[in-house]
Chain A
Amino acid sequence: MTTSAPVTAATATTAPTRTSRAHGRTGFQRVQMRGVSRRYGRTPALMDLDLELARGEFVALLGPSGCGKSTALACLAGLQPLSGGSIWRDEERIDTLRPERRGFGMVFQNYALFPHLTVRRNVEFGLAMRRVPRPVRRERAMEALELVQLRDHAEKLPAQLSGGQQQRVAIARALAIDPELILMDEPLSNLDAALRVEMRTEIKRLYQERDLTVLYVTHDQEEALSLATRLVVLRAGRLEQTGTPEQVYTQPASAYVASFMGYRNLFPARVAGAADAGRAVVTTADLMLEGTVQTPAVLPSGAEVTVAMRPEDLAVTADGSGLRALAEVVEYHGRELSVRVRTEQGVVLHVRTDRPVRAGETLGLAIAPERVLVYPGAGEQREAGRERDE
């Protein structure tokens, strides 16, 4: 682990000085979790999870609290034993290694800095454990602190820094050991909204500049979408969907995933009759909609389905044509308005529009059939909604 490891061309070009030092990268190609399960007593937290991370990926593990995403991270880090399955780094099985032998970097939700050590010594910690000589250690710690713009705070104690600064120290601590994989466990959820957005950009910048491989756990779809190169959605300890942010955002595999991806209009309906291939006309409370079926299976007429629509996909028509609905609540969001409407049939929908709408006005709504997602099963919606609330 301490001998100099091969450095990729990309790394060498972004930071030429790093070729000369010993560091943690072993030039792995992929880390795989194969059929990993984890139980707490009798309660399963992870069930048969297969997850692969290729070098250079930024994977976001997304799901509500209790879906097993933090457990997956802890298993990968070696902080929790597996109940079944295995973890591999290329051809080497690593789930039997103790956490200190895995060489991963980690950023914790509550920063987890060592309160008795200065910022610099916190960042040096991983290097000290690897018996890196003191001058080298110091130089690399200062370099990592430079990356997160905290060089001037090196001799302070963590308690003297703000939350955002502390989290940057935690990131510097992870960067300093130059790990092949950085695990991040909801690193931004303790920060206030403005700082969160700023730190998000900062993490993305570091990812791009430093050629990192990141596994990032979050319950925030915006964070996941903006940061990740690939999204993995977990549901009750199982993998629900994986794909690029765009795939998951536009084509959620289930109503559950849709509920995460901003499909705020989720309601049960019935198939009224098939239209074109993959198209179905669905109905709820006399409201008829043409939608796109998100399953290869053929849905018979009368089958229970869940309909998912994003508020921004519902357009307010200029001439008042289309679905007639009464604007009930209008919220101002700067460039847009968020409107809760009730259709003539009594169905409540959420709409986002840049048209001036006043409460009490009757609107015409239109939506493209390909943006009305139809999932089989009526239970989906309720379940998804509940889990999201937790």
Chain B
Amino acid sequence: MTATTTSLASARSRDGAPGLRGAPGLRGTLSRVTLTAVITWFAALCFVVVLLGVFVSVLVTSFATHWGGTWWPDGLTLDWYRQAIDTPGLARSIVTTFEVGLAVVALALLFGVPAGYVLARRQFPGKSAVMLVMLLPVILPPMTYAVQLAAMMYRIGLGGSLLAVILVNLVPTLPLVILITVPFVEQISPDIESAAKVFGAGHLQLFGRVLVPLLVPGVVAAGILSLVRVLGSFELTFFVSSADTQTLVVTIFGKLSDPGGVSASLTAAMTVFYMVIALIGLAVSLRFSNPAQAFTGAAR
């Protein structure tokens, strides 16, 4: 954090008066070698190394014929991936993960963004209470309500269906989208909307030409966070899904807790599938969230 601010400060001073260009540049270089900067960079490096280490070890395990107590496995193979794909239900659960992820994110955005807009713009008695209630499913551990939700789904005859999986996952994601949208809407001055109206924008044009482009960063952020939640939501999906409607995380957990025991490399291979899906989701979202791109796209 300190390092970021220092480099920002030096960047700013470099943009300053041309006559002073030499001096602040030098000061900027010097200020980077402070003790705080060194500690911060070292901590950040450790963090990245550990994270990458875990990631690499999973990756290597998934290709290893056998790996025990040495720096590098005895041999590499694609067998685990072949086995993983052949594992009954895995291919199915990958498809389910995509279906559930897309459906939940789409529905949460479709209803959450307009709801967040209304909540941000309208003042009404009990507004803070509504916001608080919406915060609950987001901050409460899903375990606290997963069982009851699943029971309710079975009661109304949806138990085990794809629809039920989607619905229970909407419980924390919809409020999440709303909560993320509200501050993004509040950032947009109501005068900007007034200006759009006065200059001839109808409801649709106001929405399409002004609000949506301005809300893109917020919508993308909400989408990414919802997707991450759905991909990682184990409890909610676990209780309500059936063999056909499991997401990958539930399937992997099932294999891990298999009494027969599954090799570490096989679960590693499955985990790689899981990571790849998450990364694809992230990459796709980031492509749209690049703010510069969002703005030039709208300006064209």
Contacts and interface: CB of A to CB of B under 8 A. Distances in A.
Interface string A133-144: 000000000000
A84 interface: no
Contact of B299 (A78, A100, A103, A118): A118
A66 interface: no
B195 A114 contact: yes
A108 B194 contact: yes
Contacts of A121: 299
A114 B197 contact: no
A106 interface: yes
Say which size band chain B's interface belongs to.
20 to 34
Nearest to B188: A115
Contacts of A269: none
Given A116-B298, A117-B298, A79 B192 contact: no
Given A108-B191, A129-B205, A114 B210 contact: yes
Contact of B199 (A115, A129, A157): A129
Contacts of A126: 199-200
A309 interface: no
Give the contact-size bracket for chain A.
20 to 34
Interface string B177-193: 00000000000010110
Contacts of A388: none
A39 B10 CA distance: 52
Contact of A173 (B199, B202, B209): B199
B214 interface: yes
Contacts of A99: 194, 197-198
Q: Which of A106, A116, A125, A177 has the most CB of B within 10 A?
A: A116
B298 A130 contact: no
A105 B199 CA distance: 7
Contacts of B202: 98, 100
B295 A125 contact: no
B201 A129 contact: yes
A74 B198 CA distance: 10
B122 to A, nearest CB: 14
A268 to B, nearest CB: 41
B213 interface: yes
B228 interface: no
A108 B201 contact: no
A77 interface: yes
The listed residue with most B CB atoms (<10 A of its CB), out of A102, A104, A129, is: A129
Contacts of B192: 112-115
A155 to B, nearest CB: 9
B295 A116 contact: yes
B199 A177 contact: yes
B214 A115 contact: yes
B196 interface: yes
Nearest to A1: B200
A325 to B, nearest CB: 49
Contacts of A157: 295
Given A100-B197, A100-B202, A130-B200, A110 B191 contact: yes
Interface string A168-189: 0000010001000001000000
Given A100-B202, A117-B298, A129-B205, A79 B189 contact: no
Nearest to A177: B199
B299 A79 contact: no
Contacts of A125: 196, 199-201, 209
12 contacts: A79-B194, A79-B198, A98-B197, A100-B200, A106-B195, A108-B195, A110-B191, A115-B192, A116-B214, A125-B209, A177-B200, A183-B198
For the complex of A and B, 5 pairs with smallest distance between CB atoms: A129-B200, A126-B199, A112-B191, A112-B195, A99-B197
Interface of A: 74, 77-79, 98-100, 102-106, 108-110, 112-118, 121, 125-126, 128-130, 157, 173, 177, 183
Interface of B: 189, 191-192, 194-202, 205, 209-210, 213-214, 294-295, 298-299
